[in-house]
């Protein structure tokens, strides 16, 4: 052990090119590449310490978290990880559609790597985090991150400072989602007639989106991001059972944001496996985006964040 306890922090990320669906082989490998932005302000803080048996607490309460238990068992097949007491806290609502599993597994993998002296590279931590939750692989890095084969370890494409975009999140429901991402992905893969087309279209868009980010081409990034989001939701809706993660507020926000972009503002929408709408915009446009979203029917709350850094050990 490197210290009595080790604490790490990580932030959620939002995919602009979406991952939805897994490969048919072990390792929690996505069927598609993805590209994301890591947020600031929203933080998961995780402390691990040696214990007699594993225990997990979330925001101060003991929890049974099957996802963490399964990940620990998987990680222990390759690494020397003793029984651990894990305490994790989110400074944002866990069920608000803000990818707490991404920041959670990125913080946990980083804390364990530090505490147990696994000596992993950032790529190694990303692979560990991915085995817990694939989107978590991207939260190891700050700014713009990509996750693609053949190694399925995320890399940083560009730092947060290189293109400091803003994200305005419109919360349209605080209810937990009815179908988890993991179950939803399995349904889409098993039953949607569009699944293969989704996989090939996403692979085809990956290089274009990477180029748009590197060129800081907002208009092209907007076009590619909205297409990826709508294709993913089209896929979700086309399975059996059909998955419709949107509510009326989601659609109001999407329509309003399309109008605002037509009116000349630098903004686009993205929506994940839930009803919240994330508006990505340039800093001068953030105020107008906030005002517009706040005025939409069904919007309960608004949260504005910037782009942040990767997962780090903060103590220990």
> If we measure between CA atoms, which residue out of 294, 291, 289 comes closest to residue 279?
289
When asked if residue 153 is in the footprint of ligand 2P0 (CB under 6 A), the reply is no
Beta-bridge partners for 39: 307
What is the closest distance, in whole angstroms, from the C-beta atom of residue 193 to ligand 2P0 in the complex? 20
Q: Position of tokens 């989001």?
A: 229
Give CA–CA dist 165/224, Å, rounded: 16
Q: Which range binds ligand 2P0 by CB under 6 A, 11-19, 72-80, 167-175, 281-289?
A: 11-19
When asked if residue 75 is in the footprint of ligand 2P0 (CB under 6 A), the reply is no
DSSP 283: G
What is the closest distance, in whole angstroms, from the C-beta atom of residue 109 to ligand 2P0 in the complex? 13
The residue among 226 and 272 lying less far from ligand 2P0, judged by its C-beta, is 272
The residue among 101 and 192 lying less far from ligand 2P0, judged by its C-beta, is 101
| Contact indicator for 276, 172 with CB cutoff of 8 Å | yes
* Cβ atoms within 10 Å, residue 98: 25
The residue among 6 and 139 lying less far from ligand 2P0, judged by its C-beta, is 139
Q: Which range binds ligand 2P0 by CB under 6 A, 128-136, 168-176, 291-299, 305-313?
A: 128-136
What is the closest distance, in whole angstroms, from the C-beta atom of residue 179 to ligand 2P0 in the complex? 12
Helices in the chain by DSSP H: which ranges?
66-76, 100-115, 122-132, 136-139, 181-191, 195-214, 218-237, 248-262, 286-294
Terminal-to-terminal C-alpha distance of the chain: 10
Select the residue interacting with ligand 2P0 from 8, 12, 18, 277 (CB under 6 A): 18
The residue among 6 and 13 lying less far from ligand 2P0, judged by its C-beta, is 13
When asked if residue 15 is in the footprint of ligand 2P0 (CB under 6 A), the reply is yes
What is the closest distance, in whole angstroms, from the C-beta atom of residue 183 to ligand 2P0 in the complex? 9
When asked if residue 126 is in the footprint of ligand 2P0 (CB under 6 A), the reply is no
Peptide bond into 241 cis (omega under 30): yes
| Contact indicator for 235, 192 with CB cutoff of 8 Å | yes
Q: How far is CA 105 from CA 8, 9, 10, 273, in A?
A: 11, 10, 9, 18
When asked if residue 90 is in the footprint of ligand 2P0 (CB under 6 A), the reply is no
Q: Which range binds ligand 2P0 by CB under 6 A, 14-22, 49-57, 107-115, 285-293?
A: 14-22
The residue among 280 and 292 lying less far from ligand 2P0, judged by its C-beta, is 280
When asked if residue 177 is in the footprint of ligand 2P0 (CB under 6 A), the reply is no
Give CA–CA dist 203/212, Å, rounded: 15
# chain residues binding ligand 2P0, by CB under 6 A: 14
The residue count of the chain comes to 316
The residue among 18 and 125 lying less far from ligand 2P0, judged by its C-beta, is 18
When asked if residue 266 is in the footprint of ligand 2P0 (CB under 6 A), the reply is no
- Contacts of residue 39, Cβ cutoff 8 Å, sequence gap at least 6: 11, 12, 13, 14, 167, 305, 306, 307, 308
* Footprint of ligand 2P0 on 95-124 (CB under 6 A): 101
When asked if residue 135 is in the footprint of ligand 2P0 (CB under 6 A), the reply is yes
Site of interaction with ligand 2P0 (CB under 6 A): 15, 18-20, 28, 34, 101, 133-135, 181-182, 272-273
């Amino acid at each position: 052990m490197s210290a009595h306890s080790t604490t790490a922090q990580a932030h959620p990320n939002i995919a602009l090119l979406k991952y939805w669906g897994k490969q048919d082989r072990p390792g929690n490998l996505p069927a598609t590449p993805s590209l994301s932005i890591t947020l600031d302000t929203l933080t998961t803080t995780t402390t691990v310490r040696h214990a007699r048996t594993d225990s997990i607490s979330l925001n101060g309460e003991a929890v049974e978290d099957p996802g963490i238990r399964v990940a620990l068992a998987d990680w222990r097949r390759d690494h020397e990880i003793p029984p651990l007491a894990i305490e994790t806290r989110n400074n944002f609502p866990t069920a608000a559609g803000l990818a707490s599993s991404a920041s959670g597994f990125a913080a946990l993998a980083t804390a364990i790597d530090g505490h147990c002296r696994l000596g992993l590279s950032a790529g190694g931590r990303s692979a560990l985090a991915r085995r817990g939750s694939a989107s978590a692989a991207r939260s190891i890095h700050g700014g713009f991150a990509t996750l693609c084969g053949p190694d399925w370890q995320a890399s940083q494409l560009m730092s947060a400072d290189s293109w400091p975009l803003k994200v305005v999140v419109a919360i349209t429901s605080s209810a937990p989602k009815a179908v988890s991402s993991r179950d939803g992905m399995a349904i889409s893969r098993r039953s949607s007639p569009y699944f293969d087309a989704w996989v090939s279209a996403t692979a085809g868009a990956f290089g274009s989106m990477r180029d748009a980010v590197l060129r800081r081409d907002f208009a092209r990034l907007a076009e590619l991001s909205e297409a990826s989001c709508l294709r993913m939701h089209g896929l979700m809706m086309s399975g059996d059972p059909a998955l419709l993660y949107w509510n009326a507020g989601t659609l109001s926000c999407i329509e309003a944001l399309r109008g605002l972009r037509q009116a000349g503002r630098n903004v686009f929408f993205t929506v994940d496996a839930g009803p919240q709408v994330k508006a990505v915009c340039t800093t001068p446009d953030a105020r107008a985006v906030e005002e517009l979203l706040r005025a939409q029917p069904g919007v309960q709350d608004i949260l504005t964040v910037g782009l942040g850094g990767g997962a780090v050990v903060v103590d220990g």
